[in-house]
Structure 1
Amino acid sequence: MNFRYDINGLRAIAVIAVVIFHFDPTWLPGGFAGVDVFFVISGFLMTSIIFRGFEKSSFNLVKFYIARANRIVPALAALCLAVLLAGWFILFPAEYAALGKHAASSVAFISNFVYWQEAGYFDAASHEKWLLHTWSLAVEWQFYLLYPLILLALKPLLGVNKLRHAVLALTLAFLLFSIETSALWPSASYYLLATRSWELLAGGLVFLYPVSLRESQARVVAWIGILLIGLAYAIVDATHPWPGTLAIIPVLGTAMVIMASVQNSWLTNNWLFQPLGRWSYSIYLWHWPLVVFGYRYDIEYWWVAGVTLSVLFGFLSYRFIENIRWQRIESLPGLWRAKPVWIGALALVTGLTIMTNQGLTERFTPQMQSLLSSMSPSPYREKCHIDDYDDPDNACEYENNNVTWAVFGDSHSVELAYALADRLARQDQGIKHYTFSGCAPSLLQENGTSRCTRWYKEAVADIISDKRIDSVLINHRYSWALFGDHVPDYPAVPQDDDPERTARILRSFDAAIRELASQKSQVIIVYPVPEIARTVPLLVASGYLFKDNTEQIIGTTRAYYEKRNAVILEHLKSTAYPDNVKMIRPADTWCDEANCYAVKGGKALYFDSNHPSVFGAQALISLMPQEWLESSGLKTGAL
């Protein structure tokens, strides 16, 4: 084909949108749809290559794969190796091991499956994954592998002329499948080829069903296509199921621009878009690690440097990596002749080595290793903490068969349970562990009101009926239950927009306390744990790289803690509980008058931005006087 200036301009329009969205989503909330534009372009180009080969009886599957590898692998492998090299100096072992895994999956083109299993694309944790954007390359490569095979299988049955009807049928079928699954399984739908393939196939339809337009008509069609793409960028955001029905807008817009084939339009063929279009693949590769770097170190106005560096690195990658004419090694068979295969293999082996060696902990001093190891959750979190209903009678019991305590609550109680069990084990007592993820107090609600209402009621009943249990420690992420996560609004605090709901949750909490206190010798309430500005690994990373200080790191201010938790703090202070209800106040040890700390004495109090680490939980349990622990043991005859 002759060089398509319109397609090259579309690439620029796509990459500009993606880069803007990732550096600041508020500027272009639907900018992620730029990926959909890329998919349509790829589908058009691949279909044209395959069908032209069919028409001339010259299509060679191996050569097709080698050409795709030459196009994609070198720049991708170079990026992965560069990020792995940088990670040696700045990433902690767990992060580095995860990066190794992600790099290996990226060059193996299975990263879309990996990220699908780990988290959603728009989750906060996505900003800690340096190669998250390679999911789209995995989708494209999977399409490149399967699409020609399917066409080759159908070609003898249908012939070349009727084969296009099969592509149309597949496009419609996968579109309907995508619309359905985007609503039911949004994360899977976002990442997987089955729900993205209709976009690539839609590009193929533009080639297979050409439309003849006069120049004036073509310009109108191109204009409408650009407007549709811009409309998607403007009206869509991360709350919409994607790629659902709304994805038709940018897909249709891109198809219209390609169909119009206007080569001299200033919309696509201008002094800015043409070079950006040529560099677009490499810009796309480099921009996301730069986004993550700025997020990791919380660099103010990072978008200025980040966008500039994205374009600069993109140009350099295009000039010195993409433009290299990779010669084949003629003495090797098949795909192994392609040198990019060996470059990808180097990145794959490097990533797997880092992953299997658990991030190469020996890179750090013993003091730093001690800090890093303190950022750990309970070893029983996966086994004993539930996210869906399970009979409370099945709750874990540890570290001693002489169960005298129950720990009850949401995910903020998990590490407290482990720390308490560890302390009780020294005097031959054990605990029973009742925790349900994100479970707000709901004792007085109707079953089915929330996903944990039934469990909450049954757990309280199970604790009461278990005569071994004499003491109960209860804890919740109270302000999350009342107002939601603190991260999106930090350092602002939410308003109480639903006082009736707040009152209902607090009544349920009090009812649980009073019911347990009436049946057990003591109930220990843990006050709110401070929620900090950023995750501990990110705070430590900034202290390690820029400040050379990891002994004591501020997590947030004492004023923020008190504002964020004002409702529950006032409630706990003003409510008259039975005499056998006692309190632990984390702020007494984790905060001073001005600040609340994420790291104290070279040890992390958290493993993320709100959950206590095992070390932090041990610090809280140490606030409990010994007589609180001995009272249960004495009553049950343990001591």
Structure 2
Amino acid sequence: MKYRAEIDGLRALAVIPVILFHAGFEWFSGGFVGVDVFFVISGYLITTIIISEMAEGKFSMVNFYERRARRILPALFFVMAACLPFAWLWLTPSDLKDFGQSLIAVSFFSSNMLFWLESGYFDTAAELKPLLHTWSLAVEEQYYILFPIFLMLTWRLGVKWISIILSFVFLLSLGLAVLGTQYATNPQITSGTFFLLPTRGWELLVGVFAAFYLKYKTHLKSRTFNQILSLLGFSMIAYSIIVFDETTPFPSLYALIPTIGTGLLILCAVPKTIVHNLLSLKAIVGIGLISYSAYLWHQPLLAFARHRAVGDISEVLLLILCSASLVMAWLSWRFVEKPFRNKHVFSRKFIFVFSIAGMIIISAIGIYADVKNGWFDYVTTENLDITSGDIGHDEFHLYVKENYSLCSDEVILSKAPVWDGLIRCQQSSDNAPDVAIFGDSHAEHLFLGLNAESNNDYIYLIRGGDAFAGEETHQYLIDYIVNNTEIKTVIYSIYWHKKYDRYGEDVLNERLTQTLNLFSQAGKNLIIVADVPDFIFDAKFCYYVKMFNEKKHKCGISISDFQSQRRYLPMLKRIASDFGAELLDPSVLFCGDEECNMVKDRTILYRDNDHINIPASIMVGKFLTQNSSILDSD
């Protein structure tokens, strides 16, 4: 296969946005499309190699997998091995257990399936997973297993029939991607659409089609067309990187923009075009040559830094980490990738033995970390200065489901499956509720304590996202509260400072006013609950912090940091006054004169960084009941 320097340049165009996106730079909000660019490149390169050898009768599966093993596994094993001591020292047992599971999955080319089952790619917790990025390698590795077999079975049918079959597969895969991202309501389906080969395969096929075209049709002869189409392709990729963000349904029809753009560059970025000259620059080609190792290194560096920093990382440090990933990439490329790709240095037999041994050893380490619960078995509460209380989402929700009734309203139950769907609805007893708790998960975590500390009958109706009037599902829940004459009082709470930061004061004020106006016109008593502190670290970190000898860290944030989260409060006070609502602020339970702390009386009061747990809900419920003139106290 003839070397094309611009393809290495295209790899650089793919990897740099991915690194900067994972670092969190807003200008690269769509940098995740770099992975899609890689998919197209892989589809093109692998297909070119296979069909060229098949056309000459030289293709061998053993040779193919030897090349893939030399290219992929040594650097991958090296990076995973380098992660081990830092994971052991810095990760909490829960995170170390997850890391062990990812070691197993990566070793057997299935990490995309693991991360699909664990969380979404854009979830906050995802950025703390050192091996999250290997999901795309798993997709490619699964493609490497299936695609050569497909070509071997269909080669005798001829290029025409192969193209027809692949076109059908392309449309089916793209159709599934569109259905999964834009029409599915189950988050598990949406997440699977992002991570799995059946809904990503069409992107690889864009590169496959480019390979077949260039093999049998060659490049366009018109310099003008090549110039225009290559510039268009480059612009499509740049547009995706700058404009797309985590709210863009992906992969869907939107993903056609960067993938078709990549296909146009492969087909049309020929010598003497502007894009070819740009992508062939020595510095850009150099980054492309180390792009695989750069991709491997960047996520562990960023994830471990976030674990260790216990808070936001400055942009300067993020840039240093991004630069460090390139330095580590060059070292990996020079001293790991290049030697292992040299057949005169390492024989085929050595490569296969090395690959199998590496998979066994790394997966065995992962199994040990998983079975030992991330070495949680060696830790007892007595070792620590604090007790856990309840620090798990599962424990919290299980307690609610086991101790309280599902909503009795059949219309709500038919509208969305409770707990398994988007709506969560629970009530304190079989009696008709007289108080509704409405909002998002920051309303939900008030339910336990309010019910325990007052004589009211409660119902909470929440849905993830924005709890405002006008949005279809939330409007249905609002209408239910408004039309229910038994409900006399509405307690309203959302993740205030995140919504304030997202929308700004004017938009948030408008949406909040519109929502409260509906409740007020229905004659409901209104109670608005300000938010508890939002910490910059997870409750599990606080629990295990003493094991890391972080004696200066007291599981708290400064009052000044907390006040920066409270920019919404003047607006909330004004709105409460306008509607004659009670505004209750439970933050005084967590904050003193100098800091706010998630530990009180040696008990942790959170289950992550912003949701309170069972003991804290009881404490907050008592505070709200005692300070409200509307609620009936026990």
Query: TM over 0.5: same fold?
Result: yes
- Give 1:287 shift: 0.8
In the alignment, the residues of structure 1 paired with residue 475 and residue 622 of structure 2 have an alpha-carbon distance, to the nearest angstrom, of 34
Q: Determine if contact 1:540/1:553 at 8 Å carries over to the other structure.
A: no
Q: Determine if contact 1:13/1:34 at 8 Å carries over to the other structure.
A: yes
Instruction: Write the mapping of 1:386-425 to structure 2, written as runs, cut at 5 A.
Output: 389-390=412-413, 408-409=437-438, 411-412=441-442, 414-418=444-448
Q: Go from structure 1 to structure 2 and tell me whether the alpha carbon gap of 1:503 and 1:172 turns closer, same or farther (over 3 Å shift).
A: closer
| Matching residue of 1:315 | 330
In the alignment, the residues of structure 2 paired with residue 627 and residue 120 of structure 1 have an alpha-carbon distance, to the nearest angstrom, of 39
| Matching residue of 1:42 | 42
In the alignment, the residues of structure 2 paired with residue 82 and residue 423 of structure 1 have an alpha-carbon distance, to the nearest angstrom, of 51
SS at match of 1:209: helix
Q: Determine if contact 2:390/2:614 at 8 Å carries over to the other structure.
A: yes
Among candidates 282, 286, 289, match of residue 271 of structure 1? 282
Q: Deviations over 1:159-183 (max 9, x none)?
A: 3564244334433443454445442
Q: Which moved more, 1:33-42 or 1:163-172?
A: 163-172
Q: Determine if contact 1:14/1:34 at 8 Å carries over to the other structure.
A: yes
In the alignment, the residues of structure 1 paired with residue 475 and residue 433 of structure 2 have an alpha-carbon distance, to the nearest angstrom, of 30
Q: Go from structure 1 to structure 2 and tell me whether the alpha carbon gap of 1:449 and 1:97 turns closer, same or farther (over 3 Å shift).
A: closer
Q: Go from structure 1 to structure 2 and tell me whether the alpha carbon gap of 1:618 and 1:309 turns closer, same or farther (over 3 Å shift).
A: same
In the alignment, the residues of structure 1 paired with residue 612 and residue 494 of structure 2 have an alpha-carbon distance, to the nearest angstrom, of 14
| Matching residue of 1:502 | 512
In the alignment, the residues of structure 1 paired with residue 371 and residue 505 of structure 2 have an alpha-carbon distance, to the nearest angstrom, of 47
| Matching residue of 2:499 | 485
The size of the alignment, in residue pairs, is: 593
Q: Deviations over 1:280-318 (max 9, x none)?
A: 101001112222234442232222211121011112222
Among candidates 534, 537, 559, match of residue 536 of structure 2? 534
Instruction: Write the mapping of 1:539-618 to structure 2, written as runs, cut at 5 A.
Output: 540=542, 548-554=551-557, 557=560, 559-560=563-564, 562-569=566-573, 585-593=585-593, 595-600=595-600, 602-618=602-618
Among candidates 362, 379, 402, match of residue 395 of structure 2? 379
**Aligned pair 1:16/2:39, yes or no?**
no
- Give 1:133 shift: 1.3
In the alignment, the residues of structure 2 paired with residue 213 and residue 440 of structure 1 have an alpha-carbon distance, to the nearest angstrom, of 50
Q: Determine if contact 1:73/1:344 at 8 Å carries over to the other structure.
A: no
Q: Partner amino acid for 1:253? A: G
- Give 1:377 shift: 4.0
Q: Determine if contact 1:100/1:352 at 8 Å carries over to the other structure.
A: yes
Among candidates 241, 255, 258, match of residue 233 of structure 1? 241
In the alignment, the residues of structure 2 paired with residue 154 and residue 238 of structure 1 have an alpha-carbon distance, to the nearest angstrom, of 39
Return the index of the structure with the highest Cα Rg: 1
Q: Determine if contact 2:442/2:495 at 8 Å carries over to the other structure.
A: no
Q: Go from structure 1 to structure 2 and tell me whether the alpha carbon gap of 1:448 and 1:611 turns closer, same or farther (over 3 Å shift).
A: closer
Q: Go from structure 1 to structure 2 and tell me whether the alpha carbon gap of 1:236 and 1:618 turns closer, same or farther (over 3 Å shift).
A: closer
| Matching residue of 1:521 | none
In the alignment, the residues of structure 2 paired with residue 153 and residue 227 of structure 1 have an alpha-carbon distance, to the nearest angstrom, of 38
- Give 1:42 shift: 0.5
In the alignment, the residues of structure 2 paired with residue 627 and residue 329 of structure 1 have an alpha-carbon distance, to the nearest angstrom, of 75
| Matching residue of 1:467 | none
- Give 1:508 shift: 5.2
In the alignment, the residues of structure 1 paired with residue 220 and residue 625 of structure 2 have an alpha-carbon distance, to the nearest angstrom, of 84
SS at match of 1:266: helix
| Matching residue of 1:436 | 462
Instruction: Write the mapping of 1:109-508 to structure 2, written as runs, cut at 5 A.
Output: 109-156=109-156, 158-159=157-158, 162-185=161-184, 187-210=191-214, 211-214=218-221, 216=223, 220=227, 222-260=230-268, 262=270, 265-296=276-307, 297=309, 298-300=312-314, 301-325=316-340, 327-329=347-349, 337-361=352-376, 362=378, 366=382, 368=384, 370=386, 374-377=390-393, 379-382=395-398, 384=400, 389-390=412-413, 408-409=437-438, 411-412=441-442, 414-418=444-448, 434=460, 436-438=462-464, 450-453=475-478, 456=481, 461=486, 475-478=491-494, 480=496, 485=499, 488=501, 494-497=504-507, 499=509, 501-507=511-517
SS at match of 2:504: coil
Q: Determine if contact 1:476/1:528 at 8 Å carries over to the other structure.
A: no
In the alignment, the residues of structure 2 paired with residue 446 and residue 365 of structure 1 have an alpha-carbon distance, to the nearest angstrom, of 45
- Give 1:267 shift: 1.6
Q: Partner amino acid for 2:442? A: H
Q: Determine if contact 1:174/1:197 at 8 Å carries over to the other structure.
A: yes
In the alignment, the residues of structure 2 paired with residue 95 and residue 509 of structure 1 have an alpha-carbon distance, to the nearest angstrom, of 43
Q: Which moved more, 1:138-147 or 1:593-602?
A: 593-602
Q: Deviations over 1:453-498 (max 9, x none)?
A: 466469884x89xxxxxxx9x7542464xx8635x55xxx931336
Q: Determine if contact 1:55/1:160 at 8 Å carries over to the other structure.
A: no
**What percent of counterpart residues are identical?**
26
In the alignment, the residues of structure 2 paired with residue 312 and residue 457 of structure 1 have an alpha-carbon distance, to the nearest angstrom, of 60
In the alignment, the residues of structure 1 paired with residue 200 and residue 37 of structure 2 have an alpha-carbon distance, to the nearest angstrom, of 12
